[in-house]
Structure 1
């Protein structure tokens, strides 16, 4: 416990004046101790354990398999999507087999979703940015298979509520995930073959609309509001911040891709508005 400031303030006040001066010095010293403690707290960065990272990794693929199963029989397309996520994380060998096994466990009809997510949320210690990234990964996987089916949407709602998010927040995440998928496709098309035969650039208005949705603001927002939204999204998805909270190193590439998309959306809006 810090008391150095209080002691020095008390003695200095007593020496310079009287008991009133001593009490005033004590108060000044107390304020100093609080500021020092906060400064030390902000500089402290907790290092997550490997067990916490492994739990995040396992739960990600298990829940992904569980949501895929909600649509009925897991299709070859859904299996391919899970494999693409493993490719994005550059998973090879034993770690890839672990991801595949987690996906299979999630597909099992007896998979205890409630129990697993309650334990997972507790292990994340209520860090909402980390839980949000987990949910966003599930949404990306669900949208990659096409429009959501009714059972998938219900299962995603169940997952969101178990993680501590409301139905309204889920609808926001769904809109942003859909915009992210669309925006990413526009980016791929724009960079893949502009000179290719038969290539038609995506409608600029649709791409711009996706950019606003990706930042979580309306196109009617002021420049200052858009700037704040951009900074907020970058803060929520900063790879170093998520790593310190428990994001596995295997998923760092996905976190970096997310911040790149946020940056691209911001650059597009800046260009359209003439923001410097």
Structure 2
């Protein structure tokens, strides 16, 4: 049974406990009409982490969208796109929307949510990085990252264990990935190649061996099966696949340009 099946069948949102469990309990309370059964999943269990990720990502996405004072149509569309890529059923989608709306509330307990989420992830750095990358993409949904959003992202990043320098690198890479994936036929070869280097977070003076090493590291960090095994909800595997496709495309373009 999947993490969602356990949630519906056993009231797992309540079993998770803490602010994440309370948040999921409010968001999916309508799912628990049949009462609660014991669902004993130890901290670190993959399905427990998947539930924590689902709860944290959509609620913090809502918080971030409201960070600049206004939730833009682009940010709502980004959240809806992610839900669409996840192929959520009606109940899952309703729960995700409710989590997003809870994140927009003035009393949203961001610090407590992030503290528990980091603890639930048990030092799964690649999973935490994916969490940040999705949030950065949400902030970039309107093709602009203002100072308020950057400040909110820095606060979130530091609370889950990333430095300001690491966040800046992720922001640059995610921004480049979005430009690269949406480039048009009118994009010049020079501009496209420049974006390809930015997707990998390197400059055009990098050696071939260092380039290959960077490529392999990025592919390993975003490998869908590895991320799901660490706690990425199975429904988000399309996001990971998209990431690896963009990384591979950029690497192939750079490699071909060096022949």
Is the Cα–Cα contact under 8 Å of residues 200 and 215 in structure 2 kept in the other structure?
A: yes
Per-residue CA distance 1:71-129 (angstroms, 9 max, x = gap): 11212332122111111212231111111011001001111111100100000001111
Counterpart residue number, 1:27 = none
Per-residue CA distance 1:231-263 (angstroms, 9 max, x = gap): 010011111111111010011110011001111
Q: 2:216 aligns with which of 213, 231, 244?
A: 231
- The separation in 2 between residues aligned to 1:87 and 1:109, in whole angstroms, is 27
- The separation in 2 between residues aligned to 1:223 and 1:229, in whole angstroms, is 10
SS at 1:90 equivalent: coil
After TM superposition, the structure 1 = structure 2 runs for residues 190-209 of structure 1, keeping only pairs within 5 Å, are 190=185, 201-209=186-194
Is the Cα–Cα contact under 8 Å of residues 48 and 245 in structure 1 kept in the other structure?
A: no
Counterpart residue number, 2:18 = none
After TM superposition, the structure 1 = structure 2 runs for residues 138-157 of structure 1, keeping only pairs within 5 Å, are 138-157=135-154
Which 5+ residue runs of structure 2 have no aligned equivalent? 1-43
Q: Does 1:261 align with 2:246?
A: yes
Is the Cα–Cα contact under 8 Å of residues 62 and 104 in structure 1 kept in the other structure?
A: yes
Which 5+ residue runs of structure 1 have no aligned equivalent? 1-46, 191-200
- The separation in 1 between residues aligned to 2:246 and 2:229, in whole angstroms, is 22
Is the Cα–Cα contact under 8 Å of residues 200 and 247 in structure 2 kept in the other structure?
A: yes
Is the Cα–Cα contact under 8 Å of residues 63 and 108 in structure 2 kept in the other structure?
A: yes
- The separation in 2 between residues aligned to 1:172 and 1:77, in whole angstroms, is 23
CA RMSD, Structure 1 to Structure 2 (Å):
1.2
- The separation in 1 between residues aligned to 2:210 and 2:166, in whole angstroms, is 19
How far is the alpha carbon of 1:212 from its aligned partner? 1.1
After TM superposition, the structure 1 = structure 2 runs for residues 14-25 of structure 1, keeping only pairs within 5 Å, are none
Count of residues paired in the alignment: 216
After TM superposition, the structure 1 = structure 2 runs for residues 106-255 of structure 1, keeping only pairs within 5 Å, are 106-186=103-183, 189-190=184-185, 201-255=186-240
- Between stretches 145-154 and 163-172, larger displacement belongs to 145-154
Per-residue CA distance 1:145-171 (angstroms, 9 max, x = gap): 221111111000000000100001111
Is the Cα–Cα contact under 8 Å of residues 81 and 145 in structure 1 kept in the other structure?
A: no
- The separation in 2 between residues aligned to 1:144 and 1:156, in whole angstroms, is 14
SS at 1:70 equivalent: coil
- Between stretches 263-272 and 141-150, larger displacement belongs to 141-150
Bigger radius of gyration = 1
TM-score by length of 1: 0.76
Is the Cα–Cα contact under 8 Å of residues 197 and 204 in structure 2 kept in the other structure?
A: yes
Is the Cα–Cα contact under 8 Å of residues 127 and 245 in structure 1 kept in the other structure?
A: yes
- The separation in 1 between residues aligned to 2:140 and 2:95, in whole angstroms, is 24
- Between stretches 78-87 and 160-169, larger displacement belongs to 78-87
TM-score by length of 2: 0.81
